[in-house]
C-alpha cells in the first residue's frame, strides 16, 4: 500500500477520534516555534522543562493534560506561552484500525493519534518539537532550534532524529537523595553512557548500535531473562557489520533509543509508534536527548504505571525497572561503569558520536 493512502486513512481516523478541547492558555494562532507534549502529573519536571526549552528558542507550548490530579493544570494555566488541551480518552486506550494498516501500526494506541492531532491542530505545515517531560534536548552554547530548522531546510530535510541518552546518578543512595526533592535538580551530578548509540541512515530509521544504559544495567544486575542472550552492547565493528548483514538482528534493548523529535508536519504524516513518524529524519543531524529516567520521581511513576498497565506492552519496562531498583537497593548498587561520562559540555556528546551536524 502506498504511504499516501495509509496517511489519508489515518488522517480520517484522527478526525473520528478527535475530541481535543482547549481548556486553558494562550493565543493558539500566534506565530513562533511550537513544542507539543502529553503529560500527567508532571510538576517534578515542569519548571525546569519550561525554562530549558524557552532558553532554546521555543515560543509556544501546547500540553495535552491526561487527567493530572496534582498542580500540573493550575501551574500551566498561569503560563503566558502555554495552551492546555484535554480529551475524554486516556493515555492507555487503543483504537480500531483496518487490517491493511496493521502492518505499519502493530498496537494502535490513542497516544499515536494524540501526537498527530497536536501537530494537525497547532503546527500544521510548520516545524514543531514533540518530547516527553523527562526529555531535555541539548544544543551547543548559543544555538537555538531556529538554527537547527535552518540547517534542516538547507538540506531539504523535514525531520530530525534525537538519541535517547538515559542519564543517571552515581548509585542507588544518590537516587534516594533525589527522591527527597520536589523538582528535578539538573545541576546535580548526572552521568550518561559514553557510547555511540545510533547509526543514522538515509530515508530509514536509525540503526541501533548500542542499546543504552537500561539494558546495560539489566544485564549487569541480571534483570529479565530476555536480556541475557545478547547483553547490553555490540562491542566492536565486526559485530556491527554482522548485524548489518543479517537484517532484523539487533542488539536487544529495553526501549528504543531513537526518536523523531523535530518535524515539519503535513497532512501526509502520521505516527507509526511513540518514537517514529513515517517521515525519516536527516542523516546529517543528530540531537542528543538527556532522558531523566533515573530521576527522583522514578519509583512513584513506576507504581502508577504498574497499577494502570497503560504503558507499552502492559508496562513491561516498569516491571523490569522495579526489579532493577530492588536489586540495586540491596547493596547500594552503582549506575556507573567504565565508560560512564559526566553530563557536561556539548562536546561530550559530539566526542561520543551522540551529536553531530550542529
Q: Nearest 5 degrees, angle CA 5-CA 130-CA 15?
A: 40
Q: Give the cell for residue 166.
A: 538515559
| 174, part of any domain | yes
User: Over the stretch 92-151, which tens digit does the pLDDT of each residue have?
Assistant: 888 887 777 766 666 778 998 999 999 999 999 999 999 999 999 999 999 999 999 999
Mean pLDDT of 192-220: 96
| 132, part of any domain | yes
Confidence of residue 91 (pLDDT cuts 50, 70, 90): confident
| 358, part of any domain | no
Range of the domain at 62: 3-351
Whole-structure pTM value: 0.90
Mean pLDDT of 236-261: 54
How many Å apart are CA 278 and CA 272, to the nearest integer?
6
Tell me what pLDDT residue 230 has. 41
User: Over the stretch 272-282, which tens digit does the pLDDT of each residue have?
Assistant: 888 999 999 99
Regarding predicted confidence, which is higher, 189 or 4? 189
Per the structure, the count of domains in the chain is 1
Compute CA 331 distance to the chain's CA centroid, rounded to the nearest angstrom.
30
| 356, part of any domain | no
| 357, part of any domain | no
User: Over the stretch 165-179, which tens digit does the pLDDT of each residue have?
Assistant: 999 999 999 999 999
C-alpha distance across the termini of the chain, in Å: 36
User: Over the stretch 333-345, which tens digit does the pLDDT of each residue have?
Assistant: 999 999 999 999 9
Q: Nearest 5 degrees, angle CA 114-CA 120-CA 124?
A: 145
User: Over the stretch 213-247, which tens digit does the pLDDT of each residue have?
Assistant: 999 999 999 998 644 444 434 344 444 444 443 33
Task: Assign 3-state DSSP to the chain and report helix, strand, coil percentages, each to 5.
Answer: 35, 20, 45
Instruction: Reply yes or no on whether the pLDDT at 189 is more than 80.
Output: yes
Instruction: Reply yes or no on whether the pLDDT at 11 is more than 80.
Output: yes
Tell me what pLDDT residue 51 has. 98
Mean pLDDT of 19-43: 88
Radius of gyration of the chain (CA): 20
| 203, part of any domain | yes
Amino acid at each position: 500500500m502506498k504511504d499516501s493512502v495509509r496517511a489519508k486513512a489515518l488522517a480520517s481516523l484522527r478526525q473520528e477520534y478527535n475530541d481535543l478541547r482547549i481548556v486553558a492558555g494562550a493565543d493558539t494562532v500566534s506565530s513562533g516555534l511550537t513544542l507539543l507534549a502529553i503529560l500527567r502529573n508532571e510538576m517534578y519536571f515542569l519548571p525546569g522543562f519550561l525554562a530549558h526549552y524557552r532558553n532554546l528558542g521555543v515560543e509556544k507550548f501546547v500540553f495535552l493534560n491526561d487527567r493530572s490530579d496534582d498542580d500540573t493544570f493550575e501551574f500551566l494555566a498561569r503560563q503566558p506561552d502555554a495552551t492546555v488541551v484535554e480529551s475524554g480518552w486516556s493515555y492507555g486506550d487503543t483504537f480500531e484500525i483496518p487490517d491493511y494498516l496493521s502492518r505499519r501500526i502493530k498496537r494502535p494506541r490513542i497516544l499515536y493519534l494524540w501526537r498527530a492531532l497536536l501537530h494537525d491542530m497547532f503546527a500544521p505545515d510548520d516545524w514543531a518539537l514533540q518530547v516527553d517531560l523527562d526529555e531535555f534536548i541539548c544544543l551547543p552554547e548559543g544555538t537555538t532550534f531556529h538554527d537547527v530548522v535552518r540547517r534542516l531546510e538547507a538540506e531539504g530535510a523535514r525531520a530530525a532524529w534525537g538519541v535517547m541518552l538515559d542519564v543517571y546518578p552515581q548509585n542507588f543512595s544518590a537516587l534516594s537523595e533525589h527522591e527527597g526533592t520536589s523538582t528535578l535538580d539538573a545541576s546535580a551530578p548526572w552521568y550518561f553512557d559514553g557510547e555511540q548509540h545510533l547509526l543514522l541512515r538515509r530515508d530509514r530509521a536509525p540503526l541501533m548500535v548500542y542499546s543504552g544504559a537500561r539494558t546495560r544495567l539489566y544485564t549487569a544486575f541480571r534483570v529479565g531473562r530476555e536480556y541475557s542472550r545478547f547483553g547490553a552492547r555490540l562491542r566492536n565493528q565486526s559485530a556491527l557489520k554482522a548485524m548489518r548483514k543479517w537484517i532484523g538482528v539487533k542488539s536487544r534493548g529495553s526501549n528504543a533509543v531513537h526518536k523523531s523529535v523535530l518535524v515539519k508536519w503535513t497532512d501526509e504524516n502520521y505516527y507509526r509508534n511513540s518514537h517514529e513518524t513515517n517521515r525519516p529524519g536527516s542523516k546529517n543531524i543528530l540531537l542528543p536527548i538527556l532522558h531523566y529516567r533515573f530521576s527522583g520521581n522514578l519509583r512513584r511513576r513506576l507504581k502508577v504505571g504498574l497499577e494502570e498497565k497503560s504503558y507499552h506492552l502492559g508496562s513491561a519496562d516498569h516491571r523490569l525497572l522495579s526489579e532493577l531498583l530492588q536489586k540495586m537497593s540491596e547493596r547500594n548498587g552503582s549506575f556507573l561503569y567504565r565508560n560512564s561520562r559526566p553530563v557536561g559540555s556539548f562536546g561530550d556528546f559530539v566526542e561520543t558520536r551522540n551529536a553531530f551536524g550542529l
